[in-house]
Structure 1
Amino acid sequence: MKLAAIKVGVSTVWTSPEAPRDLDAPAIAATPDVAAWADSMNTEVRLGLHGRTLTQALYAEPVLIRSERDGWSEIIAPWQPSSSDPLGYPGWIPSSHLGELPAAASDPVAVAVPLTQLMAEPGGSPLLELSFGTVLASTERTDGYVRVALPDGGSGWLADEAVRVVSEPADAMERLRLGSQFLGLQYLWGGTSAYGLDCSGLIHAVNRVVGLRTPRDAHDQCDALEHVAVDEAQPGDLYFFARPGDTVHHVGFVSPAGMLHASETGKVLEDEALAPERLSTLVAAARL
Structure 2
Amino acid sequence: MKLAAAKVPTSTVWTSPDAPRDIDAPATAAQPDVAAWAKSMDTETRLGLHGRTLTQLLFAEPVLVRSERDGWSEVLAPWQPSSQDELGYPGWVPSSHLGELPQSASDPVAIAVPTASLLAEPGGREVLELSFGTVLASDEHADGYTRVATPDGGSGWLADAVLRSVSEPSDADERLRLGEQFLGLEYLWGGTSAYGLDCSGLIHTVSRVLGLRTPRDAHDQADTLPNIPIDDARPGDLYFFARPGKQVHHVGFVSPAGMLHASETGKRLENEPLTDDRRATLLTAARF
TM-score, scaled to structure 2:
1.00
Residue deviations 1:198-245, cap 9 Å, x none?
Answer: 000000000000000000000000000001100000100000000011
Quote the Cα distance in structure 2 between the aligned partners of 1:188 and 1:182. 12
2:258 corresponds in structure 1 to 258
SS of 1:84's equivalent in the other structure is coil
1:106 corresponds in structure 2 to 106
1:153 corresponds in structure 2 to 153
SS of 1:280's equivalent in the other structure is helix
Quote the Cα distance in structure 1 between the aligned partners of 2:102 and 2:278. 44
Match status 1:73 vs 2:73: yes
Residue deviations 1:40-63, cap 9 Å, x none?
Answer: 000000000000000000000000
Quote the Cα distance in structure 2 between the aligned partners of 1:40 and 1:212. 33
Match status 1:32 vs 2:28: no
SS of 1:96's equivalent in the other structure is helix
Quote the Cα distance in structure 2 between the aligned partners of 1:279 and 1:42. 29
Give the letter for the 2:241 counterpart.
F
Quote the Cα distance in structure 2 between the aligned partners of 1:170 and 1:206. 11
Match status 1:203 vs 2:203: yes
Root-mean-square deviation over aligned CA pairs: 0.3
Quote the Cα distance in structure 1 between the aligned partners of 2:240 and 2:40. 31
Give the letter for the 1:17 counterpart.
P
1:144 corresponds in structure 2 to 144
Superposed structure 1 runs of 4+ greater than 4 Å apart = none
Identity %: 77
Quote the Cα distance in structure 2 between the aligned partners of 1:265 and 1:187. 5
Give the letter for the 1:47 counterpart.
L
1:222 corresponds in structure 2 to 222
Q: Unpaired segments of 5 or more residues in structure 2?
A: none
Give the letter for the 2:105 counterpart.
A
Shift of 1:132: 0.2
SS of 1:16's equivalent in the other structure is coil
SS of 1:80's equivalent in the other structure is coil
Quote the Cα distance in structure 2 between the aligned partners of 1:284 and 1:88. 25
Aligned pair count reads: 288
Shift of 1:156: 0.3
Shift of 1:158: 0.2
Quote the Cα distance in structure 2 between the aligned partners of 1:277 and 1:253. 17
Quote the Cα distance in structure 2 between the aligned partners of 1:175 and 1:160. 20
